[in-house]
Amino acid sequence: MVLALALTLMMPAASVLAYDPIEGPCSASSDASSVCHEKSVDPNETLRKVSSLIAWIAGVAAVIIIIISGFMYVTSGGDPQKTASARSALIGAIVGLVVIVAAESILLFVLGKVG
């Protein structure tokens, strides 16, 4: 607790700039610093980042399901119902990976042609 308080007191003060939703950032300021310049937001780049994040998360989930279904298959002990359940989970995860890759490729192709 004492260390956290000491570190807080030793940190340099940060300048805080207000954002006016009507006028934009730093509208009342006559400061010409680079902090107050507005940045343009590219919707294509935002969509690329969001889709990549979603594809990455879905890909990790599919790989985890593949690992779990492989474990289920190995530990099924020859039971046809458990083997079929593991096989269907494996096929579903592989189809999911193919859909994820195809969707990401189509989205990147379309965004490349649009922007």
Virtual torsion, Cα 104, 109, 110, 115, nearest 10 deg: 120
Virtual torsion, Cα 55, 43, 46, 29, nearest 10 deg: -170
For 48-80, b/e burial (b = at least 16 CB within 10 A) is: beeeeeebeebeeebeebbeebeebbeebeeee
Residue with tokens 């579903």: 92
Return the structure tokens found at 22: 């009507």
Model confidence pLDDT, tens digit, residues 51-85:
999 999 999 999 999 999 999 999 988 899 999 99
Model confidence pLDDT, tens digit, residues 11-51:
555 555 555 555 555 555 555 555 555 566 778 888 888 99
pLDDT at 72: 94
Alpha-carbon distance 99 to 59, whole Å? Answer: 10
Alpha-carbon distance 70 to 51, whole Å? Answer: 28
